[in-house]
Amino acid sequence: MSGDIARVRAGECHVWIAEAVSVPALLPMLDDHERRRHEAFVREKDRALYLTAHALLRQTVAAQLDGMKPGEVRFAHVCKHCDADRPHGKPAVAGSPLELSLSHSGGLVAVALSLAGPVGVDIEETAAGRDLPLNVLSAPERAALDRVPDAERPWAFTRYWARKEAVLKATGDGLMVDPARLTVSPPDVPAALAEWRERPQPHLPVRLHDVDAGEGHRAAVAVLGDGECRVVRHEVTHGGDGAVLRRPR
């Protein structure tokens, strides 16, 4: 059921953007823990987001591993802060150089695979109509956001947030690190990590990229390491049989 899934090559990071769907054929791809998590959600929208994100991660990983089926993929989850294999940790595939990340928000999911270094992807529904948690921004980011017209401020904030989350996912820190310690580039210029106050040494350079997620969402991907990293974006959907299909724009 992998459908048309590209192979990730050296020096590349691939990002798949998909609409959340409730396709029963995806459920057998999940393991027991994932099925329990899926069933625990009360809202159908949340179940669809979780199902699509975790099935798509399995499908994209299986397509990179010859002879592997999505339901056969076994993930390890390593938490940087508790040094244990826990379900909340950053996902990895034992014995494979693939680096993985997934995210979901609103009605979309994002999955990133990389052979260019540790990866973090974040997708966020634009924060329009909600109070903005400005405490996650650094002083330079707050100052830049204050100069943005009111009508554009929600999408500008969401771009900041997606970039920061992508970096913290790539490093494995997550929200155990105060996002306000990071300063990323202003939302109207290409993505970059400008500063990370008190970032512990040693650490790898951060390559940060915005990813087109269409109207109503913002997305970013961060890859750690030196050298060039080519980001390849795929917009996909699922057929009724669970196969991954390219989605025409």
DSSP assignments along 98-135, one per residue:
-EEEEEEETTEEEEEEESSS-EEEEEEE--TTS---GG
Partnered with residue 39 across adjacent β-strands are: none
Per-residue pLDDT averaged across 61-76, rounded? Answer: 91
pLDDT at 81: 66
**202-216: per-residue pLDDT in tens?**
899 999 999 999 989
Query: Which domains does the chain carry?
Result: 12-246 (3.90.470.20)
**82 — pLDDT class (breaks 50, 70, 90):** low
* Cβ proximity of 219 and 3 under 8 Å: no
Residues 62, 35: Cα–Cα separation, whole Å = 19
Number of neighbours of residue 231 by Cβ within 10 angstroms: 17
**111-127: per-residue pLDDT in tens?**
999 999 999 999 999 97
Residues 65, 127: Cα–Cα separation, whole Å = 37
**3-53: per-residue pLDDT in tens?**
679 999 999 999 999 999 999 999 999 999 999 999 999 999 999 999 999
**2 — pLDDT class (breaks 50, 70, 90):** low
pLDDT at 66: 85
pLDDT at 24: 95
CB neighbour list of residue 151: distance below 8 Å, 6 or more residues apart = none
pTM of this structure: 0.93
Per-residue pLDDT averaged across 161-181, rounded? Answer: 95
Residues 9, 225: Cα–Cα separation, whole Å = 16
Q: Nearest 5°: phi and psi at 248?
A: -65, 140
**159 — pLDDT class (breaks 50, 70, 90):** very high
**235 — pLDDT class (breaks 50, 70, 90):** very high
Residues 219, 169: Cα–Cα separation, whole Å = 13
Partnered with residue 220 across adjacent β-strands are: 122, 210
Range in 75-84, 174-183, 236-245 the model is least confident about = 75-84
